[in-house]
């Protein structure tokens, strides 16, 4: 496990109390007033790169707010890197895997570019069992 990757199963699952999609590249999942998971990808376009975030649930691409997450339990989180060759450009990806009581949720931040235009990925996690910030360029 590197400093930019995590894999944790919580001893005590955490109830999700609020879900917000502030922007297509900024998601917030709250557990109470003090604990949360924030996922962010810088949205500034520099040239012709393709970037963004998407969510897969049960093999279907969905919107975060369409998931029945409020009231569900978060059992664990994994965050890891993934590289994909896609057409002409390599794609850097950061995958956030949420282990929930309703099933696995994959949140993928991606940036396909020629190496000159990175986008900053950030995940802030604050729970009773884990406080960490992951920052890296994709």
On the question of pLDDT at 14 being above 70, the answer is yes
Domain ranges in the chain are 6-137
Phi/psi at 124 (nearest 5 deg)?
Answer: -110, 125
- pLDDT reported for residue 114: 67
Q: What is the pLDDT of residues 47-92, one digit of tens each?
A: 777 888 888 888 888 888 788 889 999 999 999 988 766 565 557 7
- pLDDT reported for residue 115: 67
On the question of pLDDT at 116 being above 90, the answer is no
Q: What is the pLDDT of residues 88-100, one digit of tens each?
A: 555 778 999 999 9
Alpha helix stretches (DSSP H) within the chain: none
Strands 36-41 and 26-30: antiparallel
Q: What is the pLDDT of residues 24-53, one digit of tens each?
A: 789 999 998 899 999 999 887 777 778 888
How far is residue 45's CA from residue 41's CA, in Å, rounded to a whole number? 11
- pLDDT reported for residue 1: 41
- pLDDT reported for residue 126: 95
């Amino acid at each position: 496990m590197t400093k930019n990757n995590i894999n944790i199963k919580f001893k005590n699952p955490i109830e999700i109390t609020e879900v917000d999609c502030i922007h297509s590249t900024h998601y917030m999942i709250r557990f109470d007033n003090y604990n949360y998971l924030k996922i962010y990808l810088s949205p500034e376009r520099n040239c012709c790169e393709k970037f963004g975030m998407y969510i897969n649930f049960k093999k279907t691409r969905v919107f975060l707010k369409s998931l029945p997450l409020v009231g569900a339990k978060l059992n664990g989180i994994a965050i890891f890197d993934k590289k994909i060759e896609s057409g002409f450009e390599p794609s850097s990806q950061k995958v956030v895997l949420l282990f929930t009581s309703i099933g696995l949720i994959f949140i993928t931040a991606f940036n396909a570019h020629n190496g000159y235009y990175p986008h900053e990925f950030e995940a802030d996690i604050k729970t009773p069992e884990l406080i960490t910030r992951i920052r890296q360029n994709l």
